[in-house]
Structure 1
């Protein structure tokens, strides 16, 4: 893209200016993404009185050393197991006081479950790796298959999350865990962001060069093409159409496949989204927000293409649709 701006400036006898890349929000740190979950487990005396219920094994696992350091998805798995085992245990409890207490715990668990679900999706280290900006630019030749696979995976996660939010708690989270494991090995969403950031900035630079010749120093007089215009036309087809546009199209395609379902994964959880996540959500995931990076990207492509057309039209060389 730097070379594209340089060649465009050379053809039009304009000094190239390379703007700084636009600022972009990074996914917040874990402590700013994760929601606090109050402890509503039963105490040890009540636990001992539940001997014979499956719930004792679920609580016992949580109280083990490993259970105290559960990752977010395992915490969700535990909460679902607790609710299921506790509901089954209720029918076996004769002690009215314990029965009332366990009923209250179940309701509180359900009340806070959306927070646990949030932590198990947007609060994970795996999704942070998927969104990381530290792995360079998007390479469509290496990533095309992966993007398609990620699309299917995130659609699957959305379906499970939607069902959980609707109270369908009997969900197998094993495959969801496998999906999150795959997110650790490719920062494809972050790479797409890096490419969009670069393209927005350099398309802006190119548009400014084109507009200089349109507004300040017309390339052609009375719509008659000259040698310089013919060189520019050749560059339009051989560089912009044949080289730049295919990459922009690949970034478009990757973004559509990845960010449409990611946007939904965030949108269906906006009611409990932490405030510290909001700026990132707006710029990165809210596709209806005017300042969203993908809205800016589309706008810059449109402006750049129109500038090309306007300059070529000055020389009677405006391309016509096939």
Structure 2
């Protein structure tokens, strides 16, 4: 059952906010805005101005600008063989293997955290006396590079990049199950990453990798962001083209013009019965993401990525504001004609 966040009320005709690509290949939900705009243009015999939304400028920063250089120090084979008394020797062998060299993103960050933990334990091992100084130097160096390793994970990991990117299409429909699948994965990933970032220790990476896999397979969050941006643009464009419903179609002296009835029918059938509830659910779904987005922005090392994630967090406010401004001239029109919203 849909729970409205934006309500066009009959008493006082007030809009109440309760909650706080070249063109897209598939305009999905936002086609309702095009349908309403077309009906209004036709009824008022206005020029055929397009409200088609352009590709949003808001995009996840590129991998190269976000990537930081990491100075890696290798330990010689003979030295590594002297570390078989602790886990460090095994980790070095694993990282030097062909599979180890393929690690990237958060898998690499996890490996670097594990290496730091192993270095600390090996330094304290009684059989490390002869290599303790070199291990301490390696630990200091590894810790100095850890923030860069985290930055590169944010830059390169395809799962996270996709989840926080703006999609090419608007949502075809609002789907609670698909939304929960994606948002639960993002929330669980963020909680794990927060713990690792705070403690500088990493447990088994299986759950984190699973959550990133879910995010990479889902289009829901990218398409949610795109839908909100497209809807905001179209509502703003419609408001720009029709800042006031022409007084010529207002009801006067008890007479109701045919054009007034046509506008009322279009607004009731498209905005009040379709768009309003969809917009309300988009805002509600986005607002559940706000704390997670804030936490991710707090962890991300790159200032430009922090700014991008923060901008994603403003989408529900932008859509709410666009809806409020769009409805205002319609409030005045309904009041002048004593129309009851939603009822024919």
Of 245-254 and 235-244, more deviation after overlay is shown by: 245-254
Length, aligned pairs only: 309
Residues 162, 268 of structure 1: 8 Å contact kept: no
Q: Distance in 1 between matches of 2:128 and 2:240?
A: 78
Partner of 1:268 in structure 2? 298
* 1:1-322 pair list within 5 angstroms: 1-19=33-51, 21-22=53-54, 23-93=56-126, 98-121=131-154, 123-133=156-166, 135-141=168-174, 143-167=175-199, 169-214=201-246, 217=248, 219-221=250-252, 225-257=256-288, 259-270=289-300, 272-275=301-304, 277=305, 280-284=308-312, 287=313, 292-317=314-339, 319=341
For residues 258-299 of structure 1, what are the alpha-carbon distances to aligned partners after superposition, in whole Å with 9 as ceiling and x for unaligned?
x425512432224x2154x35533432xx3xxxx44432221
Q: For 1:201, what is the secondary structure of its paired residue? A: helix
Q: Distance in 2 between matches of 1:93 and 1:8?
A: 82
Shift in Å at residue 107 of structure 1? 3.5
Residues 179, 220 of structure 2: 8 Å contact kept: yes
Residues 37, 115 of structure 1: 8 Å contact kept: yes
Shift in Å at residue 4 of structure 1? 1.6
Say if 1:122 and 1:156 are closer, same or farther in 2 by CA, change over 3 A. Answer: farther
Residues 93, 99 of structure 1: 8 Å contact kept: no
TM-score, length-scaled by structure 1: 0.83
Shift in Å at residue 60 of structure 1? 0.6
TM-score, length-scaled by structure 2: 0.78
Residues 163, 222 of structure 2: 8 Å contact kept: yes
Residues 104, 156 of structure 2: 8 Å contact kept: no
Q: For 2:311, what is the secondary structure of its paired residue? A: helix
Q: Distance in 2 between matches of 1:256 and 1:207?
A: 25
Residues 229, 312 of structure 1: 8 Å contact kept: no
Q: Distance in 2 between matches of 1:72 and 1:265?
A: 19
Please tell me the root mean square deviation across aligned C-alpha atoms, in Å: 2.8
Q: Which runs of 5+ in 2 are unaligned?
A: 1-32
Shift in Å at residue 104 of structure 1? 3.2
Q: Distance in 2 between matches of 1:56 and 1:46?
A: 9
Q: For 1:172, what is the secondary structure of its paired residue? A: coil
Residues 53, 89 of structure 1: 8 Å contact kept: yes
Q: Which runs of 5+ in 1 are unaligned?
A: none
Shift in Å at residue 94 of structure 1? 5.3
Q: Distance in 1 between matches of 2:291 and 2:160?
A: 13
Shift in Å at residue 52 of structure 1? 2.0
Q: Distance in 1 between matches of 2:144 and 2:331?
A: 57
Q: Distance in 2 between matches of 1:223 and 1:37?
A: 76
Q: Distance in 2 between matches of 1:205 and 1:16?
A: 13
